[in-house]
Amino acid sequence: MTPVIFKYEKGSRTQVFAVFPTLAGDDDPETMACYAHIGQHGTAHMAYVRECRPAPTSAYIPLLQELQSIGYDDLVIRSRMTYNDYRTRRDFLAQRNT
């Protein structure tokens, strides 16, 4: 199962992106993988994600369908990040870098 959180881009009322809080974005454990219609896969910093408003179901359904169409069929929709998500990313990076 892959947790996913849907947010509006900062300052936007229409642009939705998906954040995968347990998947590392790069070598910094404070970043996580993300996905948007435009730009597709990318990296988001925890601080940025916290500044973004949650997207309601009606706003993120098209993005969810796009994710499912490219193989994300085990998504678990969540509303917030947890400290355990951070630990999962940190531990993954520690193992990868040993």
CA-CA distance, 65 to 6, in Å (whole number)? 13
Other CB atoms within 10 Å distance of the CB of residue 12: 13
Q: What is the pLDDT of residue 88?
A: 95
Could you tell me the pTM of the whole model?
A: 0.93
Q: What is the pLDDT of residue 45?
A: 97
CB-based contacts of 69, cutoff 8 Å, min separation 6: none
pLDDT digits (tens, 9 = 90+) for 34-90: 999 888 999 999 999 999 999 999 999 999 999 999 999 999 999 999 999 999 999
CA-CA distance, 78 to 97, in Å (whole number)? 29
Q: Quick one: residue 93, left, alpha or beta (phi over 0 = left, psi -120 to 50 = alpha)?
A: alpha
Residue of higher predicted confidence among 42 and 96: 42
Q: What is the mean pLDDT of residues 25-31?
A: 95
